[in-house]
């Protein structure tokens, strides 16, 4: 019972302060408390270098505020994730991406639209690219992911996407989602991790798969230079506090990049995970199924106590009436 109560308190206090060094604030829009009264740009673009772009969907367009990544090679380009919004009038993703692509032989450079995983907020924008010439959208389902990259021993192995003078390596990383992969860009040392690792909630669907993936990815990067680890969202402020789920306002948001050391710390963090909720300096581990079970159990206990108290109250009143009747 004490363990259950402690776990419930941990969940309820999940947005409490975490002890961590402050990271520099990011340069992205902070959204708004009242998005109906705000008019932010739906899509923000930052240039990492001449051939690498980071795009972010604004918090008022979607509270998910996804980060998307455009990598340009000599022969083709790669867009990692297409975000949470299909409607081009609300999110002009395809138009903006195509405008960033250079031309070759009078046409835009071919584009591959890939995904870190199959959750809808990472692939809703696919519809904007489906009919565009020179664009290939990688299927997000299990067979599509494994077939496209040629994984015949999933989740083992590493695939290569040759963009022409720029090779991106693809490493399976299930655990948050059964189809999750991470992308490593040899040219920049950037590791794109989607929801596998980000400054915020690491939502665990399969703890054994997640732990194995963390070890696999850590082994992959061990002898490689990783300049930055870039995830799919930012859910923390500069003090390490989590924003409430669904928040459209991120004041004092921490910077997007994590470090190689955060990735190397992930296997042990998962091995020590209590199965419910655990804070670490730059991320929080959480299992929503277990958490819901705990909350449901707690609610059942509270309801049971309430029913018991009502029954006891009614019985006492009846006893008092009987006693008063006997005295009369």
- Checking if the pLDDT of 312 tops 80, the result is no
* C-alpha–C-alpha distance, residues 189 and 248, integer Å: 31
* C-alpha–C-alpha distance, residues 26 and 191, integer Å: 18
Within a domain: 295 = no
Within a domain: 324 = no
Question: Which DSSP helix (H) or strand (E) runs through 135?
Answer: strand 135-137
Which residue from 50, 47, 101 is spatially nearest to 75, judged by alpha carbons? 101
β-strand partners of 46? 54
Within a domain: 312 = no
pTM confidence score: 0.82
- Checking if the pLDDT of 143 tops 90, the result is yes
Domain span including residue 51 = 2-286
Q: Exposed/middle/buried for 14, CB within 10 Å: 0-12, 13-18, 19+?
A: middle
Within a domain: 224 = yes
Contact 26, 253 (CB under 8 A): yes
Contact 216, 151 (CB under 8 A): no
Within a domain: 301 = no
- Checking if the pLDDT of 20 tops 70, the result is no
Within a domain: 310 = no
Contact 239, 212 (CB under 8 A): no
Within a domain: 328 = no
Within a domain: 303 = no
First to last CA, the chain: 46
Determine if the peptide bond prior to 155 is cis (ω within 30°): yes
| Bigger pLDDT: 88 vs 23 | 88
pLDDT at 217: 98
Window from 64-68, 245-249, 276-280, 293-297 with minimum mean pLDDT: 293-297
Number of domains forming the structure of the chain: 1
CATH code of 282's domain: 3.60.15.10
Band (pLDDT 50/70/90 cuts) for residue 184 is very high
| Bigger pLDDT: 152 vs 328 | 152
- Checking if the pLDDT of 1 tops 80, the result is no
pLDDT tens digits for 55-79? 999 999 999 999 999 999 999 999 9
């Amino acid at each position: 019972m004490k363990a259950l109560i402690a776990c419930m308190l941990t969940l309820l206090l999940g947005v409490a302060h975490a002890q961590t060094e402050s990271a520099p604030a990011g340069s992205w829009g902070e959204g708004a408390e009242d998005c109906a009264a705000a008019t932010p740009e739906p899509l923000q673009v930052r240039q990492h270098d001449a051939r690498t772009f980071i795009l972010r969907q604004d918090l008022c367009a979607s509270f998910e505020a996804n980060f998307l990544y455009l990598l340009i090679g000599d022969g083709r380009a790669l867009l990692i994730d297409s975000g949470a919004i299909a409607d081009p009038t609300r999110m002009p993703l395809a138009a903006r991406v195509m405008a960033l692509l250079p031309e070759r032989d009078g046409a835009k450079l071919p584009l591959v639209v890939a995904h870190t995983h199959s959750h809808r907020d990472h692939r809703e924008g696919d519809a904007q690219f489906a009919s565009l010439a020179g664009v290939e959208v990688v299927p997000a389902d299990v067979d599509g992911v494994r077939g496209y990259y040629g994984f015949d021993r999933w989740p083992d192995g590493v695939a290569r996407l040759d963009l022409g003078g720029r090779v991106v390596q693809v490493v399976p990383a299930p655990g948050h989602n059964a189809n999750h992969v991470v992308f490593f860009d040899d040219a920049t040392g950037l590791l794109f991790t989607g929801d596998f690792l980000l400054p915020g909630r690491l939502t665990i669907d399969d703890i054994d798969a997640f732990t194995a993936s963390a070890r696999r990815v850590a082994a992959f990067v061990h002898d490689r230079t990783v300049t930055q680890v870039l995830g799919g969202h930012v859910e923390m402020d500069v003090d390490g506090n989590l924003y409430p789920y669904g928040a459209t306002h991120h004041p004092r948001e921490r910077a997007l990049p994590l470090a190689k050391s955060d990735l190397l710390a992930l296997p042990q963090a998962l091995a020590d995970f209590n199965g419910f909720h655990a804070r670490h300096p730059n991320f929080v581990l959480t299992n929503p199924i277990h958490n819901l079970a705990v909350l449901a159990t707690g609610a059942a206990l509270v309801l049971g106590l309430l029913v018991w108290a009502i029954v006891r109250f009614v019985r006492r009143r009846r006893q008092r009436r009987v006693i008063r009747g006997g005295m009369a």
